[in-house]
Structure 1
Amino acid sequence: MRTRHAVGAVIAALAVPVAVAFPAQSHGYITTPPSRAALCGAGTVTNCGEIRWEPQSVEGAKGFPTRGPADGTICAGGNSRFAELDDPRGGAWPATAVSAGQRLTFTWRFTARHATSGFRYYLTKAGYDATQKVTRSNLDLTPFLNVPYNNTQVPSTLSHTATLPSGRTGHHVVVAVWDVADTPNAFYSCADVTF
């Protein structure tokens, strides 16, 4: 009996430093249509760096578009660890086929639930060049969908359906922002679409 208690004490003592070294994180990303992070996480797109193992971790300062990630770093949430998400790959990111006026459902997967202020969805402007990084100047800074969440905790998955704007042709990028309520950060998720 003493041996079991001693083993239990050793395991508990070892678990504390591990828990401190790897704190629980509250994260999320868009799975449908597949975001760049989801494509990397699934191995559909290669040469993704660390995001391959952490598609849920694209976290950056909130306050977009007036604050938040710098231009050219928006898809990575301003996080240099995930810079591969900002690389336009010559316009070759896999894109979901859509049409103007279509109702499209965006599904988020949350690996840890968090109180949430809301969600906002932006789309690149007409004439966007998919070989260029996403910047504020090539985004329509008025969200085409704004979903208040009133500081409520999100479930493990959540979907929002929006009517896609008109006036677009070719390859575009949706920038989705999840504003958490109890931290200074937000999560950024970019999904490529083709009109």
Structure 2
Amino acid sequence: MNKKQKLAAALGAGFAPVLVLASVTPASAHGYVSSPPSRQAQCAAGTVSCGEITHEPQSVEGPKGQTTCSGGNSRFAELDDDSKGWKATDVGSSQEFSWKLTARHSTSTWQYFVGGNKIAEVDDGGAQPGETVTHKVDFGGLSGKQKVLAVWNIADTANAFYACIDVNIGG
């Protein structure tokens, strides 16, 4: 091998581990509902004792169409445990929900569900949001303690981000 070939081989060997690590490192950030505090926001704040989600409130990602707080992601299954002591926020007949986005994705829709029924949907038509997004959601005739499932459907992948928010409507 000549000097150029040896240098190229050495550089290639040096960069190969970096390339491999870059390709297997999981995404570190995406988004969650920060206000009123979602279950993962409560975990991150230490309001409720949680596991891995404490350090990754923005990472509750799963295939579109999930109906659980964990988005079907077994790493965050404790978010599905309704008996865990989640703090409910007192709200009126409507409430603004603010998402904290740590990675910006083109957005299809934002959806809000209570008891499996869709109560609101915002179509973003592929727009790429900023660092925060806020939607005003009308609860209609609902009252009392409710669990809101908020879903951020990404436009260019098969995945969505999920957050559950415990509220006390009319509280």
TM above 0.5, one fold? yes
Confirm whether residue 174 of structure 1 aligns to residue 148 of structure 2.
yes
CA, structure 1 residues 15+43, in 2 after alignment: closer, same or farther (shift >3 Å)? farther
The alignment partner of 1:193 has SS state of strand
Distance in 1 between residues matched to 2:116 and 2:82, nearest whole Å: 18
Would the alpha carbon gap of residues 165 and 140 (structure 1) be closer, same or farther in structure 2, given more than 3 Å must change?
farther
The CA RMSD over aligned residues, in Å, is 2.0
Q: Match for 1:87: what amino acid?
A: D
1:191 counterpart residue number: 165
Q: C-alpha deviations, 1:116-148, integer Å up to 9, x for none?
A: 10101111xxxxxxxxxxxxxxx142x221100
The answer as to whether partners of 2:71 and 2:161 remain within 8 angstroms in 1 is yes
- Which of 66, 78, 87 is equivalent to 1:84? 78
Q: Partners of 1:178 and 1:43 in 2: how far apart? A: 24
Sequence identity percentage: 45
**Per-residue deviation, residues 75-125 of structure 1 (Å, max 9, x unmatched):** 1001111011001126x31010123x2x311000111100110101111xx
What corresponds to 1:97 in structure 2?
90
Match of 1:39?
42
- In 2, distance between residues paired with 1:52 and 1:19? 24
Q: Over alpha carbons, which structure has the higher Rg?
A: 2
Amino acid paired to 1:156: E
Deviation at 1:163, TM superposition (A): 2.0
Match for 1:60: what amino acid?
Answer: G
Runs of 4+ aligned structure 1 residues displaced above 2 Å come to 12-21, 23-26
Moved more, 151-160 or 15-24: 15-24
- Structure 2 unmatched ranges of 5 or more: 1-10
User: Could you tell me which of 53, 56, 68 is aligned with 1:54?
Assistant: 56
Contact 2:70 2:79 in 1 (8 A): yes
SS of match in other structure, 1:56:
helix
Name the aligned partner's letter for residue 179 of structure 1: N
TM-score (ref. length: structure 2): 0.83
